[in-house]
Amino acid sequence: MRKRTSKERDYADLHCVLPDPFHTISPMPLTCPSCGNNHNFLVKTLQMHVVRLDDARVEVNDEGRPAVIEVLCDECETALKFEDFDDAVRKEMLLTLGAR
Ligand SMILES: [Zn+2]
């Protein structure tokens, strides 16, 4: 297993409130400028929930769709700009992730 960055550890620590923040997508018509990887990318998403506590019950009132917060090359961890991705690729990614 590759070494985690401190940023990733932060996300891991928050795992209970940020369910499933990591997705690996393959293959995509993109190329990492650093290592030439064009298949595996690490997409971090963030999902917000409004949780309501009612006596002993816990209700999730509002569940937004996850937003993409970061895209990294899965091989060398170079940060890629999601805004710079091809429009069709971005749409396909968001659709696949159920994100916005
Ligand atoms: Zn790379």
Cα separation, 17 vs 71, in Å, equals 20
Cα 86 to middle of ligand 1, angstroms:
18
CB atoms within 10 A of CB 23: 17
Cα 88 to middle of ligand 1, angstroms:
21
Q: What is the DSSP letter of 75?
A: T
Ion ligand 1 nearby residues (CB, 5 A): 32, 34-35, 37, 73, 75-76, 78
Bridge partners of residue 21, in order along the sequence? none
Cα 40 to middle of ligand 1, angstroms:
9
Report field, pTM of the whole predicted structure over 0.75: no
Cα separation, 38 vs 70, in Å, equals 17
DSSP 3-state of 11: helix
pLDDT tens for each residue of the chain, 100 residues long: 566 665 555 554 544 444 555 666 544 468 899 999 988 999 999 988 889 998 889 898 777 888 899 999 999 999 999 888 888 888 888 888 887 6
